[in-house]
Amino acid sequence: MKYIAFVILTNLALISFSQKNKGGEKNHNSKELDLKKDFNISGKSVIKKSKQVALTKVALHFKKITNNQVYVGKGNDKVSASAWAILEGVSDQTFQSIADEFYKRLNDKLKAEGLAITDWNTVTSAKNFDKVNDKQIKKHWSNKNIGLINVYTANEGPHCKQVIGNPGIWSAYAKLGKELKSNPIALDIIIDFARFDLKMKQSGYYFRTTSANSNVYPQISIEKFSGANGFNTISTNLTAVGKYGEASIITMKKNIYFEDEFAQSIDSHSGKLPESMQKKISFGTNLTTGTFVINVDEEAYKTAVLNALDTYTDYMIAQIKLIRK
C-alpha cells in the first residue's frame, strides 16, 4: 500500500513594484488588444441601427480582495496553493466617485459618436424603470475562488444580473427601451488591483514535499471575467438591448493590464488567509502562501482606474465604429 505524507513549505516574498516588473501575464497583452482577435461580439443589429441610447446600468465590479491559485499533482494527490492580496486605503466615496465620473466620460464619448443620449433623470422617471429596479441583486459577494468584489453603479443606480445568460432581464430592459424610444445599454466591468507570481512544486515519493512561493505586483487590470464558477460568473461586457429583447453584446477574450503607479507600501503576512475568507468552504488540500496588504495612494488609485476605464471605453467605441460603418 502506498502511503504519502505531505510536508508543506510556504514562502511569501515581496518583489519591488517598480515599472520593470509590470506587464501582462503569460499569453496576455499589456494594454493593447486586437479589435478582431481579442473580443467577442454577439449580435450586431442593435448597435448598428441604434440612434439613441440610455445608459441604464453602469456597474463597476471592484476587487477588494484578490487571489491566484496554482495546482500540482493528480487525483487524490492534487494540491493547490494560493496567494492573496487586500486593497487598503480606498473609501466607499472614492469608489462611487469613480463610477459617477466614468458615467460622464462614457456619455461624452457616445455623444461624440453621434448617438443621442437619454439622460439619467428621464430613464429613472420612466414607468417601466420599476421593472428593471425589481431585478436588482446584491452589490457585494465573495468566495475562495475570486476573493471579495464590491459593485458600485453610476448614479447609485440598480445593479441587475448581466444580460448574458439571463433572459429574464432582457424583457425588463426591452420594455424600458420601448417606452423611452431608446436602446438601453448595460455595462459590467471587473477591475482588479494586483497580479501574482505564484510558483509551486512537489518532490519525493512516499514522503512528498510540496513547496510554494509567491510575489505580488500592484497593477490595475480590466478582467475579462470574475473567476467565479456557475451562476456567479460575471463577464466584463457592454450590452445594448432592442425593443424586442434582442441584444448586441461585446465581451473580451483577454485581460487588459496597465502600468500606472498607485501603491505606497505592501505588508506581507506569511501563511495567513484574509480574515473574511477563513470561514469560506474549501475542498481538497490547499496551502496558503499568505496575504499581501497593498496600501495605496487614494488619488493615484482613482486616476489609475479612470485611465484604465478610458482605455476600455476607447475599445468599445472602436468596436461600435466597426459595427456601424
**Greatest CA separation for the chain:** 73
Interval 233-288: pLDDT, tens: 689 999 999 999 899 999 999 999 998 999 999 998 887 776 666 554 444 456 77
User: Are the C-beta atoms of 284 and 76 separated by less than 8 Å?
Assistant: no
Please tell me what DSSP assigns to residue 225.
B
Dihedral (CA of 81, 296, 61, 184) sign: negative
Comparing C-alpha atoms, which of 103, 239, 219, 81 is closest to residue 170? 239
Please tell me which residue, 195 or 20, carries the higher pLDDT value.
Answer: 195
Interval 135-156: pLDDT, tens: 888 898 887 777 899 999 999 9
Query: Alpha-carbon distance 207 to 163, whole Å?
Result: 50
Please name the residues in contact with 48: beta carbons below 8 A apart, sequence gap of 6 or more.
Answer: 248, 323, 324
Domain count, the chain: 1
Comparing C-alpha atoms, which of 143, 135, 144 is closest to residue 162? 135
pLDDT confidence bin for 201, thresholds 50/70/90: confident
Query: Alpha-carbon distance 163 to 238, whole Å?
Result: 9
Range of the domain at 83: 5-324
Q: What mean pLDDT value characterizes the chain? A: 84
pLDDT of residue 20: 32
Helix, strand or coil, per DSSP, at residue 156? helix
Report the percentage of the chain scoring pLDDT > 70.
82
pLDDT of residue 285: 52
Comparing C-alpha atoms, which of 205, 204, 160, 201 is closest to residue 184? 160
Query: Alpha-carbon distance 4 to 87, whole Å?
Result: 38
Chain centroid offset of residue 107 CA: 21
What crossing angle do the helices spanning 92-112 and 298-324 adopt, rounded to 10°?
30
Q: Three cell numbers at 50?
A: 441604434
pLDDT of residue 283: 43
Looking at the DSSP bridge assignments, the partners of residue 292 are: 85, 268
Written as one string, the DSSP assignment of 169-197 is HHHHHHHHHHHHTSEEEEEEEEEEEEEEE
pLDDT of residue 281: 40
Distance from first CA to last CA of the chain, Å, rounded? 69
Model confidence, pTM: 0.88
